Amino acid sequence: SKRVSALLVASEDMVADLGARRSRSGRELAYVRARFLVECRAAGVEAIDCPYTFSDVKGAVADAKWAKRLGYRMKSLVQPSHARAINRVFTPGRTELLRARRVVAAFEKARKAGKDRATVGGALIEMPIYTAAKRLLESAARSSPPRRKKSR
């Protein structure tokens, strides 16, 4: 349906249905989380990663970092104390944004020179990497608070 813009993987329901045992590592859900993300992307729907259902913030951060490495761009939570830490994981830092800007600039310069790829820091930059860098910069621009004008 075109009315569906995002979906959440119901991890606890899945664990119960499978008869699996939930662990802090989340390995029992590795396939489900990866498959869910692929299916959502194929359908053009945003995938929301499952919550970390233990109370420790350190575990929530590790789980969020793994989800981000998989390709998730957002995560649900059930423990309010996890919110700040999870937001930090999913908010690109200065280094990540700087690299994305370098990737975009190098690739666009290469394209203007008639090349189909560029290099940044020894890494080969082709269209998928360029597209991901542009997406990251666009997302960061949308989620950044507006800059205040300095009063005189």
Fold assignment, 6-90: TIM Barrel (3.20.20)
Report pTM. 0.80
Domain locations along the chain: 6-90, 94-143
pLDDT at 117 over 90: yes
Q: What is the largest CA-CA distance in the chain?
A: 65
Q: What is the pLDDT of residues 58-98, one digit of tens each?
A: 999 999 999 999 999 999 999 999 999 999 999 999 999 99
Around Cβ 52, how many Cβ atoms within 10 Å? 27
Share of the chain above pLDDT 90, in %: 84
Task: Return the pLDDT at 141.
Answer: 86
pLDDT at 152 over 60: no
Mean pLDDT along residues 35-64: 95
Q: Strand pairing partners for 125?
A: 118
State the chain's mean pLDDT as an integer: 92
